[in-house]
Amino acid sequence: MLTDKAGQDAYKAPSPGISAENPRRTGGNLVQLISPEGERISHPEFDLWVSDVTDEQLCSLYEDMTVIRRIDAEATALQRQGELALWPPLLGQEASQIGSGRALRDDDFVFPSYRDNGVAYCRGVEPMDLVRAWRGNASSGWDPYRHNIATQQIIIGSQSLHATGYAMGIQHDGSDSVAVAFFGDGATSEGDVSEAMVFAASFQVPVVFICQNNHWAISEPVRIQSHIQIADRASGFGIPSMRVDGNDVLAVLAVTRIALDRARKGGGPTFIEAVTYRMGPHTTADDPTRYRDANELEDWAAKDPIARLKALLRTKGLLTEEVEAKTQAKADEVARNLRAGVINMPDPAPLDLFNHVYSTPNSWIERQKDHYSRYLESFSGSTQEGAL
């Protein structure tokens, strides 16, 4: 597994691309370090940022991506079987989420969208906690302060402001941690994302915006969201940006490290566009065959992020039977535990309805809770005294 230490070591390297010293690079070419065929592409600027990644860590990235894809598949199956009310699959976005998620330091704070389960996994969120809200057992599954990741945001783009505000707090505290907002291409149409960039640039706060351009906002294609490359939008706010192949885990790791480093050194916000593809539906409630061409999916399947890393590992002779067996065993185990956890998840108690609306008692809610509990109590013993 990649650790914070690995990231720290990389900071000692000269800082090409965007850095505290050189903040002006915007948009531009797609950063790529692994080709769709799995060949390692050498890049003088970005290689330095992943030069510390060992063979073992490459295998660990492969395991992360495989496991998160397996969690995604299992959750989708659980939804189809009626165990979850809904699920937003991340199929195809494993590299953009694992590459960025593994670049983070423990004390960085993430504000994710509902689809960023891979990022949450990197933060140590238990797989079962990823599905708690989708089963309808809670509004959210985990303690944000335990994992330094906010609960998943459903309102599109809202969390970009929360991350910016959190970064204002980091700046005020004089800390060198970073707030990171994850959102999709559709969110860039929302006013909140623009307002977040205005505030981030105005106050030069340590925030990284990671836009996973997965090409579709439910059924709306990115081309009707933006007439320019999304990464280029940031320059209008005075925020440098990078455009990275979001299906290339090494490239995503590199650019995220660059942006984090820049933020830690007081260089201010950075915008990353990770160009990827949502291979499944928006959620299990929609049907992408109604709105997109099968050929498009086929084209992107050829760029599959896991197959790509797997090919690289094979070329490097790292994809041993032992590695593959270990990876699959881990994925099997996680999926098995997830399924058992979901099926055995106890229902919440009725009066939990009223808990945590306020942090201090509220006379209106106390009264309603009291009345409803009396109503529920009126059923106790009704079977014995049942009129019928």
Partner 1 sequence: MSKLTFARAINAGLRKSLENDPKVVLMGEDIGALGGVFRVTDGLQKDFGKHRVVDTPLAESAIIGTAVGLAYRGYRPVCEIQFDGFIYPAFDQIVSQVAKMHYRTQGRVKMPITIRVPFGGGIGSPEHHSESPEAYFTHTSGLRVISVSNPQDAYTMIQQAIASDDPVLYFEPKRRYHDKGEVDETADLFTALSMEKARVVSPGSDVTLVAYGPLVKTASDAAMAASDEGISVEVIDLRSLAPIDFPAVEASVRKTGRLVITHEAAQSGGLGAEIAASITERCFNYLESAPVRITGFDIPYPYSKLEMHHLPDLDRILDGVDRALGRGNSLSGLEG
Known catalytic residues are 278, 282, 291
Question: DSSP H helical segments within the chain, as ranges?
Answer: 4-11, 55-80, 94-101, 117-122, 127-135, 144-147, 158-173, 191-203, 230-233, 249-264, 294-301, 305-315, 321-343, 363-377, 382-385
Which residue's CB is nearer to partner 1, number 151 or number 247? 151
Q: How buried is residue 176: exposed, middle or buried, by Cβ count under 10 Å (0-12/13-18/19+)?
A: middle
Backbone angles phi, psi at 136, to 5 degrees: 90, 15
Instruction: Tell me the window of 227-235, 280-288, 311-319, 354-362 that interacts with partner 1 (CB under 8 A).
Output: 354-362
Strand partners for 274: 212, 244
Q: Given the complex with partner 1, which of 158 and 256 has the nearer CB atom?
A: 158
Stretch that binds partner 1, among 41-49, 69-77, 145-153, 369-377 (CB under 8 A): 145-153
Q: Which of 53, 61, 62, 47 is nearest to 7 (CA)?
A: 53
Q: Does 357 bind partner 1 (CB under 8 A)?
A: yes
379 sits near partner 1 (criterion: CB under 8 A) = no
What minimum distance in Å lies between the beta carbon of 25 and partner 1?
25
CB-nearer residue toward partner 1: 221 or 238 = 238
| Cβ nearer to partner 1, comparing 155 with 340 | 155
Q: Quick one: which of 67, 134, 96 has its CA closest to 215?
A: 96
Q: Give yes or no for residue 144 binding partner 1 (CB under 8 A).
A: yes
Q: At a CB cut-off of 8 Å and minimum separation 6, what does 3 contact?
A: none
Residue 356 binds partner 1, judged by CB under 8 A: yes
Q: Which is nearer to partner 1, 145 or 379 (CB)?
A: 145
Is there a contact between 112 and 119 (Cβ–Cβ < 8 Å)?
yes
Interaction between residue 143 and partner 1 (CB under 8 A): yes
Closer to partner 1 by Cβ: residue 51 or 202: 202
Shortest CB 3 distance to partner 1, Å: 25
Q: Considering only residues 10, 34, 161, 251, which one is a binding residue for partner 1 as defined by CB under 8 A? A: 161
Q: Tell me: does residue 164 bind partner 1 (CB under 8 A).
A: yes
Segment holding 16, helix H or strand E: none
Q: How many helices (H) and strands (E) does the chain have?
A: 15, 8
H or E segment and range at residue 43 = none
**Cα→Cα distances 67→37, 98, 119, 214, 328, Å:** 22, 11, 12, 20, 8
55 or 107: whose CB is closer to partner 1?
A: 107
Q: Are 185 and 211 in contact (CB under 8 A)?
A: yes
Residues in contact with partner 1, shown as a per-residue x/- string from 165 to 204 under the rule CB under 8 A: xxxxxx-xx-----x-----------xx--xx-xx--x--
Letters for 99-138 (x = contact with partner 1 by CB under 8 A, - = none) are ----------x-x--------------------------x
Q: Binders of partner 1: how many residues, by CB under 8 A?
A: 43
Residues in region 200-229 near partner 1 by CB under 8 A? 202
Amino acid at 23: P
Binding of residue 39 to partner 1 (CB under 8 A): no
Counting contacts by CB under 8 A, is residue 346 touching partner 1? Answer: no
Q: Does 362 bind partner 1 (CB under 8 A)?
A: yes
Angle, in degrees to the nearest 10, between helices 55-80 and 305-315 = 150
Residues that bind partner 1 in the complex, under the rule CB under 8 A: 109, 111, 138-140, 143-145, 150-151, 155, 158, 160-170, 172-173, 179, 191-192, 195-196, 198-199, 202, 355-360, 362-365
